[in-house]
Amino acid sequence: MATSSSDPGSVPATAVPTNAPPSGSRGWRFGIYAAVIAIAAAQAVAQISTATVQYNPSRWPEVKPPHTPLFSANDRSRWCTVWSLVEKQTYQIDEIIAKPGWDTIDKIYVNEHFYSSKPPFVSVLAAGVYKVVKRTLGYDLTKQTHETVHTVLLLLNALPWVLALIVMAMMIERYGKTDFARLFAMLTLALGTFLTPFLITLNNHNPGAVCLVFSLAPLCRLIEGDRSRWRFALAGFFAAACACCELPAATWGLIAFGLACRADLRKTFAWFVPAALIPLGFFLYTNWQATGGFLPTYASFGASGTNPYHYVVDGIPGYWMKPSAIDVGESSAAVYLFHCVIGHHGIFSLTPVFLFSAVAWGMLPWLSDRIWRTIVALTLALTVIVIAFYLLQTKSYNYGGVTSGLRWAFWLIPFWVLSLVPVLDRWGSNRVVIGLASLLLGVSIYSTTIPRNNPWQMPWLYTVWTDWTKPEPAEPVKPPPGLRSWLAAKPVIDDPSKELVARYTSVEVGGGLREFSLRFRRKASGEGLECLVEGAAPALSGRIDSSSPPLRIDLSAFDPRREPRATPPAARSKDAETDGKPKPPKPGKGPVDTVESLFLRGLPAPTTFQWGSPPDSPRYLKTKLRKDAFPYRLLSASVVHKPTPTASAVRYRRVVWWSEELPFGVLRIEDTIADTVDNTVLARQRWTLAGLPEWKNLDESNSN
């Protein structure tokens, strides 16, 4: 059997390393490799083919949940570029983000146009695949969104992933020494890493990891002594492509270049460098096409002065001017480092199987095999460099936003998996080590299986951590008082000769519009406020229609924090004292629901309305009422109620879009009736402000 030498030039191209397994034991291992890869491939295809946004029926959504395979602002940003490139031949995404369900916070504003903030490299590749899919299968990204996204991801994510598994199996088989180490490493790669759940979404992490595998395999053969020109070309092309997918992987590109130069300087410049220039040139060209510059827009993130992330368009400020807490991230580098390594986003806490990779780092001085010494040293160096790089990004200590793991480092997973092998080769015959490794792999598979239906969610450890670290209040904290009416505030009318009119319309199922108007005015006595409801009001009491006379509601004593109930007029006159003060109601004659109180409540039973967002973090709604969007907060409540004594209970829900920029703040009202078991919507009606509230003279209104 040929042996390897410390001199790379002394080993012929066909030589097999000294740790090659006996040929008789290869057959069954290859069978296991094939089975593991088949399982991983089937799992990937099944996940991608069924990928869609899901929600927990136990949590009532504020709005109708989307039926879409686009999971987050991150992948929507890339898909917006894909659509614009194929359908409009431009990187501008203004048109597609205006479609419901397509807008994204991951965008920049340059020269009065919106662009994705993501480097276009991956998006352009996906656009090429989409163009082929559209021409051959006829799928349209906006009309057959699920079919299109699934097909593109099968070709762009799943197929390269299966090829990478095959290449990794060949490397593990070639350089591993024991059956347990080889098979355990393959199981870990196929089932126990975060590369698997991210296959269902368009991202840069899976392509980066795949390119790493395709560049590392030929480099290992160069280290052995194989000087084939095509190996230099493959190593150069995919090392550069890895850097184009993951910007910190530029370090890997430089290391790969150095390893190639060490193997053969002339062939490196003849084959490695020209091949590397292909993806690098493509990256720079697409970036220049998209933004007019060669540097990615990430370079301007958090910069002062002119910043494409900071803009106000049509009254809507860019998200990154005031991001949410999860995107602001940690304020301490030490805390960030802790959670990146062993905390709620930790490499070793979420996927503890890689603790064995860390053991390999400690074994470096005693590793005699040149390949393993090189791989383990590279794993340690690149892991430290990547973490250090993100520790220096003081504007983004955010773990990658809402994500199931430390996605910045996912492209290093093939290195971490390979580093398992020398440790298990050495101690894999020990039953304690086998049991511990299996346990840690089980925890890792648990962590990576939870987000299998949506990788853009917080890790399970994050929820546990926030529950554990939640400070106990010194005194019981009373919840803020809720509102008992959808009418959160009364308009202020200083001029008794004027009234404020707000008109709302709703599209009917059979065609046409229904409408009602609210007229707020000072009472005839000059004291207090009243409201006239005219037309078909959104009263779940079911007692008001277009033929009813105007409903007059006295708002003088109305308090939105108190239940809007009233005593019947007959009871009030009968029980009144001579001095005008009412007596306490008699048993059985207490406050009852009236048309007025039902209208103010908006729901058939008492409940509490809650605000959906804090005042300093409003949402924005584009309307036809004005050019600038309206900032608003959602006010919502729901109640379970039986329409009749013999009917099944259903859930009534009212959601109000409330804007402080209106004299009467209601922009929109949505009433929903749904099944209490699975939240199936049985009926829905939406009332929208038809025009800006108008101030009118009372004389003019009465004459009309």
Query: 381-433 pLDDT, tens per residue?
Result: 999 999 999 898 767 788 888 999 999 999 999 999 999 999 999 999 999 99
Tokens of 482: 């809720």
DSSP assignment, residue 9?
G
- What does the pLDDT look like over 34-48, one tens digit per residue? 999 999 999 999 999
Q: Is the pLDDT of residue 92 over 50?
A: yes
* Per-residue pLDDT at 563: 81
pLDDT digits (tens, 9 = 90+) for 547-566: 567 788 888 888 888 887 65
> Which residue, chain included where needed, has tokens 């050495």?
426
The answer for residues whose C-beta is within 8 angstroms of residue 211's C-beta and 6 or more apart is 238, 239, 241, 242, 245
Neighbouring C-beta atoms of residue 503, cutoff 10 Å: 19
Q: Which residue has the higher pLDDT, 566 or 118?
A: 118
> How far, in whole angstroms, is CA 402 from its chain's centroid?
6
- Please state, in angstroms and rounded to a whole number, the distance separating the CA atoms of residues 348 and 337: 12
DSSP letters, 325-339, are HHHHB-S-HHHHHHH
For the stretch 248-285, pLDDT in tens is: 999 999 999 999 999 999 999 999 999 999 999 999 99
pLDDT for the residue numbered 392: 87
Q: What is the pLDDT of residue 84?
A: 97
What phi and psi values does residue 115 have, to the nearest 5 degrees? -135, 155
Tell me which residue has tokens 């109180």.
597
Q: Mutual orientation of helices 250-263 and 205-224 as an angle, nearest 10°?
A: 20
Mean pLDDT, the chain, rounded, equals 86
Q: Is residue 340 within 8 Å of 390, Cβ to Cβ?
A: yes
Q: How confident is the model at residue 125 (pLDDT cuts 50, 70, 90)?
A: very high
**Ordered alpha helix ranges (H), 50-178:** 73-83, 94-97, 120-137, 145-153, 159-175
Element holding 590 (H helix, E strand): none
More confident residue, 302 or 124: 124
Q: What percent of the chain is predicted at pLDDT more than 70?
A: 85
CA–CA separation, 81 and 84 (whole Å): 5
Question: Are 235 and 218 contacting, i.e. CB atoms less than 8 angstroms apart?
Answer: yes
Q: What is the pLDDT of residues 578-624, one digit of tens each?
A: 444 444 444 444 455 677 888 888 888 888 999 887 887 888 998 89
299 contacts 291 by C-beta, under 8 angstroms = no
Count CA within 13 A, CB hemisphere, residue 696: 18
C-alpha 130/C-alpha 120 separation (Å) is 15
Is the C-alpha dihedral spanning 247, 204, 319, 397 positive or negative? negative
**Cα angle at 583 between 581 and 589, to 5 degrees?**
135
